[in-house]
Every structure is written in C-alpha cells, then in structure tokens.
Amino acid sequence: MSVLILTDAADATAGRVAAELAGRGVAVHTFDPADFPVRLTLAAQIGPGGSWSGMIGGELAIDLAAVRAVYYRKPTQFKMPEGMSGPEKLFAYSEARRGFGGVLQALADCRWVNDPVAAARCEYKPVQLAAAAEAGLVIPPTLITSEPERAHAWASALGRPVIYKPLSGIWHADEGQIRALYTTVVEDVGDLLDPALAHTAHLFQPQIARAREARAVVAGSTVLTVAIDSTQPGEVDWRATYGHHRYEQIELPGPVNDGLVRLHQRLGLLYGAADLILDADTGAWTLLETNQGGAWGWLADETGLPVATALADLLQER
C-alpha cells in the first residue's frame, strides 16, 4: 500500500506523519497538487469494475492502484503554465480541478483524512454547532444576524459581556495586506446598532468566564488534549498571544471525549482540532469550534503530544 500526503512544500507538520509512516515501512508520497500540470502529469483510466488506475508522473511516480490513504493536509491552488491568457488559465484550472482532483477523490478503497467534501462543509460554523449539540456537547448560546436591532436586543437581554467571532476564520485580506481578526469583546452593546452591521452576517456569543482552555486533537476514536493556560491578563483569544501560554497534556471527562468523537463522525471527519473552554461558572467544558485542518505541530513540540502516531495509525487502517 501507499499513502499520499497532499500539502505545500513548506509543511513541516505533515513531515512528522510522513516520517512516522516511513519508519513503519509504508510507502509515502508527499506532494502539492499545485504542481500539476507544470511539474506533475496524470494518466488514469477506469476499468470495468469502476476502479481508476494509472500513474501520477513527472517529478513523481505514483501507482494510483496502490494508494490506500490520503492525508489531505493543506494543498494550495493549481498553477497554470505561463503564457496562457486569462480565460485559458481559468478553463485549464477548472479542468485540472475536476480531472486531476476528481481522479484522486474517486480512488477505490481509499481512506481520506479528511474527505475534502466533508472538510469543506465543516467550514460552516452553523453546521458545526448544530452537529455538536446533537452529539451531546455543550455549546455557547449563539446569534447569527445581519439585523442591528436584533443583535442589540439579544445582547442587552443577556446581561453579560458579548463576543464577536468572524465566521470565516481569522486571516483576511485588506488592501494588499493580510490581517488577523481575532475574537473580540463587544465593549458597548450600543455599538451593535451601527447600520453597517447590516452589510453581512455576524456571529455573537456570550463571553464565557474562563477557568482554562484546551485544544483536543481527534484522530478517529483517539482524543489527545492539551490545556492552554494564558499568562496574559484579560486575553480573549489565545491565538493572538502564543508567547504567553503554558501547556499541559490533560484528559477530558469521558462524556466530553465521547461527544467529540461523535461530533467528528457526524461531520464525516476522521481528524479535527477542537477548541474548548472550561466555564468557571458552570464547570462544563464548552465547545467553541473544531477545525478540520487545525494545527498541532507546536503542541507536539511543547508537550510531546503523539499526534503523528495517531494519524499514522489512522492512515494505516483498512
């Protein structure tokens, strides 16, 4: 058997999984689909039974029939050959996505960590929250709205601090620059009456009194958790201050572990990095979100968390 790891060339975290698999004698091919069609070629055909076979060639030589698992880490976009016109590049990109990408997704008897379709659906926070509640996890009361009056009335009725969280992640383009938009506290609920709020959808939740926070890495039925304790007073989003953390491997309560496994099963994911907060008022671990491609390399560095081993186990399973 062989395992494909799809990621960009600078991904050292994926290299840990590749090294773990190689140490077990598993054939591993790491590449970025962006190298097709400039550096990689494809020749595939479908047989009478519906299975695709053939080769990915060029800088690699991969027998598609031997592939049994794919670690879909963080591949980048296809890059078309220079000299093509804009419309030609657009057409060629679309064909590469449906041809090269389609053959990979159609490989028979192949395990994806994670399936790209399931991963794309998981990017929608409303889907995650609904699945988490169905899985028995505690989630924060949440409002998603484009109506300033509704946001103001909801926040006023809570009678406690409210946070705003971007629905599309923290990284955003801003006039040629990349800026980080972290979870923030709404200092004055009167600001929610700003007419500009009507320009798009916004997610609001009550601010949870934090006892501690954690990232739980879910790999199949394995849950590996690290508590992230901030030494920065008043910190709202730990992602903004990596230099002010203490890390500790911990065990979540059994029902929370089981709920996280059920959550990822409901989402069709074999891997996820879930962020949780321990509510100082209720004593309950509350799920904030899960990330189908969430980072774990720095947690392994800080605590020895055996994520590479868990992922290699998952990719070797039939």
* 262 in the same domain as 229: yes
Task: Say which CATH number the domain at 247 has.
Answer: 3.30.470.20
The pLDDT score that the predictor gives to residue 59 is 86
Work out the percent of the chain whose per-residue pLDDT is above 90.
80
* 97 in the same domain as 36: yes
The pLDDT score that the predictor gives to residue 169 is 73
Q: How confident is the model at residue 233 (pLDDT cuts 50, 70, 90)?
A: low
Domain that holds residue 188: 141-206
* 69 in the same domain as 157: no
Domain boundary among 161, 176, 206: 206
Work out how many domains the chain is built from and give that number: 3
Instruction: For residue 232, tell me if it sits in a domain.
Output: yes
> From residue 190, how far is each of 117, 194, 195 by CA, in Å?
40, 8, 11
Instruction: For residue 181, tell me if it sits in a domain.
Output: yes
Instruction: For residue 133, tell me if it sits in a domain.
Output: no
Helix axis angle, 254-266 to 125-134, nearest 10°:
130
* 269 in the same domain as 212: yes
Instruction: For residue 136, tell me if it sits in a domain.
Output: no
**How confident is the model over 7-47, as pLDDT tens digits?**
998 899 999 999 999 999 999 999 999 999 999 999 999 98
pLDDT at 238 over 90: no
The pLDDT score that the predictor gives to residue 231 is 65
Which of the two residues, 239 and 148, has the higher pLDDT score?
148
pLDDT at 237 over 70: no
The pLDDT score that the predictor gives to residue 29 is 95
The pLDDT score that the predictor gives to residue 171 is 61
The pLDDT score that the predictor gives to residue 151 is 96
Q: How confident is the model at residue 173 (pLDDT cuts 50, 70, 90)?
A: low
The pLDDT score that the predictor gives to residue 9 is 86
Domain boundary among 184, 206, 228: 206
Domain boundary among 187, 206, 225: 206
Q: Whole-model pTM?
A: 0.89
Which of the two residues, 88 and 234, has the higher pLDDT score?
88
**How confident is the model over 187-223, as pLDDT tens digits?**
899 999 999 999 999 999 999 998 999 999 999 999 9
* 102 in the same domain as 149: no
Looking only at the bridges linking them, the beta strands covering 177-180 and 184-186 are unpaired
* 233 in the same domain as 299: yes
Neighbours of 28 (CB within 10 A): 21
Q: Which of 158, 174, 175 is nearest to 166 (CA)?
A: 174
Which of the two residues, 178 and 80, has the higher pLDDT score?
80
Please give the structure tokens belonging to residue 299. Answer: 């947690």
Total count of residues recorded for the chain: 318
Whole-angstrom Cα distance, residue 198 to residue 23? 54
Beta strand ranges found along the chain (DSSP E):
2-7, 27-31, 40-46, 52-58, 62-63, 67-74, 111-113, 143-145, 162-165, 171-174, 177-180, 184-186, 202-206, 210-219, 222-230, 245-250, 271-279, 285-291
Instruction: For residue 226, tell me if it sits in a domain.
Output: yes
DSSP state of 15: H
Task: Say which CATH number the domain at 188 has.
Answer: 3.30.1490
Mean pLDDT taken over the chain:
91
